Structure 1
Amino acid sequence: MDNTPTRLGKPTLDKDLDKLTRLEEATHFISRGLLAPGIGLIFLALAMIVAAAFVIDRPGAAVIIAAAALAAYMAMNIGANDVANNVSPAVGSRALTMTAALVIAAVFETLGALLAGGDVVSTVSEGIVGPASMPPDTLILAMLAALLSAAVWINVATWLGAPISTTHAIVGAVMGAGIAAAGAASVDWKLMSGIATSWVASPLLGGVIAALLLFFIKETIIYRDDKIAAARRWVPGLVGLMSGSFVAYLSISPLDHLLDLSLGASLLLGLAAGMATYAASVPFIARQSIGLDNRNQSLRKLFRVPLIISAALLSFAHGANDVANAIGPLAAIVHAAQTAQSGFDHTLPLWVMLIGALGISLGLLLFGPKLIELVGKDITKLNPMRAYCVALSAAVTVLVASAFGMPVSSTHIAVGSVFGVGFFREWYTRNSRRRLDYIRKRGGIIDVEELEDRNPDEIRRRRLVRRSHFMTIVAAWIITVPLTAMAAAILFTLLNGLFG
């Protein structure tokens, strides 16, 4: 007797239900992609509501509300593109998870913008184009055009996977709108020439410093017979160097208007902080190194804490410096609309600062992971030692540039440092006698030239830097200022024709 249970069901109905299930799954997948843009639109609406609550009964309320939405859009794009440089080394080296990095960056970006960001806003709002060169109504249209053109280009660059300087984007946009509104004489060409110089100097300087730091670590720690003993000797000094550099960097750049120190005083403050950190690091590293195996993997643990601290400090400095890129034009618009005077009111309203600070953090949380992955993992492989070199290079490069009075881009420094580490690894792998002797001593066999002669494709395979990313990023850097300048000039012409 057949005891097989009878299957109850209707094949046609089951087939239709399976189709509906797959349709629901596809709809859910698509809707997840729309969640971040939807939250972004809600933030823009909230920015307009907040602006309206403060200016609705004052002159120029409509244009200020519109400018608040553009500033919020600009701030989110800065968070999505620019902040990646601060935490990418820590994420790429797995010292921090993506979630932890996003939270740390969001908190310290907001603190930097709110506590130390007000003083740098005037540079964007009135340092590039002299506000006295145009009437208030014209200045408002010029700043609106600058905000929109810069924000759209940063958005496009993020979508293309190209980390760019958001400072250069807004500077180019303000310059282009200023030329269209008041002619070339209204632009501070000395400032613009300095920015053009930094296109080349920032990434090269950052790359060279990062490469030199990595060379030192490889020669003194990694390729030594007793790595742990070498780490106990040198890592406290490296941690002290990072601490001292960051203290000096913060006192020179984002906190300069609060501390009001000369370059020499800032360097002395950094030296004191570095020596104190070194003294505290000696017993800490000694405890951390107990029981570690004599291999490279063990060294990761000793560099983890400095990388986390560097991510927080770089985010604080970025929030203090680059919030101006979003709210500088907005500050100029608010002042011009309410007073009918071109210029900048140094008493910055809190709601303006909040739009910039929260917008940067929200943009980072919603759209930042894409470029964090690219800078931290896709350009070249980072471990904690290499990531340490990238992070420290940012602070040291700013100090060197400040000593020579040269404006620099934090984005160009960070990305240039990543490339510098990658290209140096390629050179070191092929040319270091210490490395070859170290590997041969442990039974390894290396004959790179013979291997490449047998297989020419091996040369390309052994490259440690992805050339496609290099070309894409450099191209985006080169066109940022002229592209945003032209777009802002065209937008201003259109706006002036409609509302001027």
Structure 2
Amino acid sequence: MANRDLEPRHLDTLDRDLGRFANLEKATAYVGRPVVGTSIAFAFMLLAALAAAIFFGQSNNGMIVVIAAAIGAYMAINIGANDVANNMGPAVGANAMTMGGAIIVAAVFESAGALIAGGDVVSTIAKGIIAPESMGSPDVFIWAMMAALLSSALWVNLATWVGAPVSTTHSVVGGVMGAGIAAAGFGAVSWGTMSKIAASWVISPVLGGLIAAGFLWFIKARIIYQPDKIAAARKWVPMLVGIMAGAFASYLALKGLKKIVKIDLGSALMIGAAAGALVWVVMIPVIKRQSEGLENRNKSLKVLFGIPLIVSAALLSFAHGANDVANAVGPLAAIVQASDTGSFTQAVSIPYWVMIIGAFGISFGLFLFGPKLIRMVGSQITKLNPMRAYCVALSAAITVIVASWLGLPVSSTHIAVGGVFGVGFFREWDAERRLKAARMAIPDRPVLGPEERRRRKLVRRAHFLTIAAAWVITVPAAAVLSAVIFAGIRMVTG
């Protein structure tokens, strides 16, 4: 009997049974992972509510502040899950960083940006969309902000679930607009501001895409297509890294350090020029040393862009934390002030405990739910390598500077994703151009059929259409949802 148990057919059966157990364990882990993430997120929301109860539990509107703190934490988690992917996706997709490394770097720099440079004074109504005095009373204002916060969080959560990176700023804008219309009518809306925001739906991704494509064209023309790629890299890579350093110095001076010091555009550009020149000079011997012994091929060039790409991702996360934390806690801060003082027409300073909720919420959201959108931006739209990802990161900083100069409101999400699309579409155009040149050189070369040409597209059209549709409907969808929530709150509260 014992010998029979060792026969090959019995061993095969045992292997199959063990395989089934292994698959069952994998399936259980896969199903359980979202449950664990949701549980941790819910626990963080309860902690935020507890913090609010400690600070404001004894005030007249203490319960309202407690509920608003939980919703603000929920919004911050969703921002971390959706928005941060735009900073880290290109670096992860280019294999310059691992997913774990990207999450750690982003969590540290997002929190640092929010706590050190975030919390700049914000208006009681986001972006000047609704006239505060139109609300009539503090209670109406509080319910409107509550509806705006909850609707924007729900919309970003839905977008993350379907795999669409959307603008959290636009979600908050739509939420505020919808609640404002429900509370005070269409006349309360600043339609001039809304028209600028609508224009940014087109301006942000197009400008980001054009700048990213332009830098990729430069890298291809001056380095990749050169006979001696390493010599060309030694000449141009220090300059490109210097441009990146200058762009990010200006970007951080304009957008990331507003709480610490106010810097106008001219001064920011001078700071950027000085930083760029210094980094350029420093990088010349560094790149020369890094390039020693490298083979004269494209793969070798990736080494030279790895560290600049990681640094750019960290700086983007710092600036994002400084700016977009207000999307999570701006309405919450307005609710806290209106509940505490009864004032809702004055500017709002975000309390530090509220800022901590926003900063840690973004980090939790990134850690628990961020990988899905990081993969989408980094590898599922188009294939990225360090050179292409560098172009995307650089375009994000430059586009914000150009938009500030032109006085245009832009979305960092739209810029980054537009840069990824710009790189992908440029690669398609370049591949088509080179194919035509090869066909002219070799007339007998076989012509590709329509089906094969579609298969070789370098940008996934399904993702392009899904993301574009999500961008277009973000403001109206958040507005309608907010109006419905506001009406429901008024109905319950009488």
In the alignment, is the contact (CA less than 8 A) between 1:130 and 1:187 conserved in 2?
Answer: yes
Q: Give a deviation string over 1:96-150, Cα, whole Å, max 9, x none.
A: 0110001000110001111111115437547322222211000111111111111
1:85 counterpart residue number: 86
How far apart, CA to CA, are the structure 2 residues paired with 1:374 and 1:23?
Answer: 27
In the alignment, is the contact (CA less than 8 A) between 2:125 and 2:131 conserved in 1?
Answer: no
How far does residue 176 in structure 1 lie from its aligned partner after superposition? 0.7
In the alignment, is the contact (CA less than 8 A) between 1:120 and 1:321 conserved in 2?
Answer: no
How far does residue 268 in structure 1 lie from its aligned partner after superposition? 0.7
Q: How does 1:267-346 map to 2 (within 5 A)?
A: 267-344=269-346, 346=348
1:75 counterpart residue number: 76
Q: Give a deviation string over 1:424-465, Cα, whole Å, max 9, x none.
A: 0010112149x968xx9xxxx986995444x33111121100
How far does residue 6 in structure 1 lie from its aligned partner after superposition? 7.2
SS, match of residue 3 in structure 2: coil
SS, match of residue 341 in structure 1: coil
SS, match of residue 256 in structure 2: coil
In the alignment, is the contact (CA less than 8 A) between 2:396 and 2:416 conserved in 1?
Answer: yes
SS, match of residue 368 in structure 1: helix
How far does residue 58 in structure 1 lie from its aligned partner after superposition? 1.4
SS, match of residue 261 in structure 1: coil
In the alignment, is the contact (CA less than 8 A) between 2:127 and 2:173 conserved in 1?
Answer: no
The match for 1:351 among 345, 350, 353 is 353
SS, match of residue 120 in structure 2: helix
How far apart, CA to CA, are the structure 2 residues paired with 1:366 and 1:426?
Answer: 35
In the alignment, is the contact (CA less than 8 A) between 1:121 and 1:327 conserved in 2?
Answer: no
How far does residue 197 in structure 1 lie from its aligned partner after superposition? 0.8
SS, match of residue 399 in structure 2: helix
2:11 counterpart residue number: none
1:380 counterpart residue number: 382
How far does residue 494 in structure 1 lie from its aligned partner after superposition? 1.1
Larger deviation: 344-353 or 387-396?
A: 344-353
1:499 counterpart residue number: 493
The match for 1:478 among 472, 475, 481 is 472
1:37 counterpart residue number: 38
In the alignment, is the contact (CA less than 8 A) between 1:125 and 1:331 conserved in 2?
Answer: no
In the alignment, is residue 416 of structure 1 matched against residue 410 of structure 2? no
How far apart, CA to CA, are the structure 1 residues paired with 2:113 and 2:191?
Answer: 29
Q: Give a deviation string over 1:315-364, Cα, whole Å, max 9, x none.
A: 01111111111101101111111112223564432110011110011101
Between Structure 1 and Structure 2, how many residues are aligned?
486
In the alignment, is the contact (CA less than 8 A) between 1:110 and 1:357 conserved in 2?
Answer: yes
TM-score by length of 2: 0.93
1:131 counterpart residue number: 132
1:235 counterpart residue number: 237
1:490 counterpart residue number: 484
2:196 counterpart residue number: 194
Distance 1:447 1:39, change over 3 A: farther
How far does residue 27 in structure 1 lie from its aligned partner after superposition? 4.5
Larger deviation: 65-74 or 112-121?
A: 112-121
The match for 1:163 among 165, 177, 190 is 165
1:49 counterpart residue number: 50
Larger deviation: 214-223 or 21-30?
A: 21-30
Larger deviation: 275-284 or 183-192?
A: 183-192
Task: Name stretches of at least 5 consecutive residues in structure 2 with no aligned partner.
Answer: 7-13
How far apart, CA to CA, are the structure 1 residues paired with 2:203 and 2:231?
Answer: 37
In the alignment, is residue 265 of structure 1 matched against residue 267 of structure 2? yes
In the alignment, is the contact (CA less than 8 A) between 2:174 and 2:479 conserved in 1?
Answer: yes
Task: Name stretches of at least 5 consecutive residues in structure 1 with no aligned partner.
Answer: 8-13
In the alignment, is residue 403 of structure 1 matched against residue 402 of structure 2? no
In the alignment, is the contact (CA less than 8 A) between 1:452 and 1:459 conserved in 2?
Answer: no
The match for 1:463 among 453, 457, 460 is 457
In the alignment, is the contact (CA less than 8 A) between 2:125 and 2:132 conserved in 1?
Answer: no
How far apart, CA to CA, are the structure 1 residues paired with 2:252 and 2:154?
Answer: 30
In the alignment, is the contact (CA less than 8 A) between 2:90 and 2:392 conserved in 1?
Answer: yes
The match for 1:141 among 143, 160, 170 is 143
How far apart, CA to CA, are the structure 2 residues paired with 1:53 and 1:224?
Answer: 65
Q: How does 1:165-184 map to 2 (within 5 A)?
A: 165-184=167-186
How far apart, CA to CA, are the structure 2 residues paired with 1:448 and 1:146?
Answer: 62
SS, match of residue 343 in structure 1: coil
- Superposition RMSD on alpha carbons, in Å? 2.6
In the alignment, is the contact (CA less than 8 A) between 2:169 and 2:324 conserved in 1?
Answer: yes
How far does residue 470 in structure 1 lie from its aligned partner after superposition? 0.4
How far apart, CA to CA, are the structure 2 residues paired with 1:82 and 1:204?
Answer: 19
SS, match of residue 59 in structure 1: coil
In the alignment, is residue 107 of structure 1 matched against residue 108 of structure 2? yes
AA in 1 matched with 2:147: A
In the alignment, is the contact (CA less than 8 A) between 2:330 and 2:350 conserved in 1?
Answer: no
Distance 1:324 1:283, change over 3 A: same
How far apart, CA to CA, are the structure 2 residues paired with 1:53 and 1:274?
Answer: 47
How far apart, CA to CA, are the structure 1 residues paired with 2:478 and 2:164?
Answer: 15
In the alignment, is the contact (CA less than 8 A) between 1:207 and 1:416 conserved in 2?
Answer: yes
Distance 1:118 1:262, change over 3 A: same
Q: Give a deviation string over 1:130-184, Cα, whole Å, max 9, x none.
A: 2222110001111111111111111111010000001000101101101111122
How far apart, CA to CA, are the structure 2 residues paired with 1:264 and 1:254?
Answer: 16
How far apart, CA to CA, are the structure 2 residues paired with 1:416 and 1:286?
Answer: 33
Structure 1 vs Structure 2: percent identity of aligned residues?
A: 57
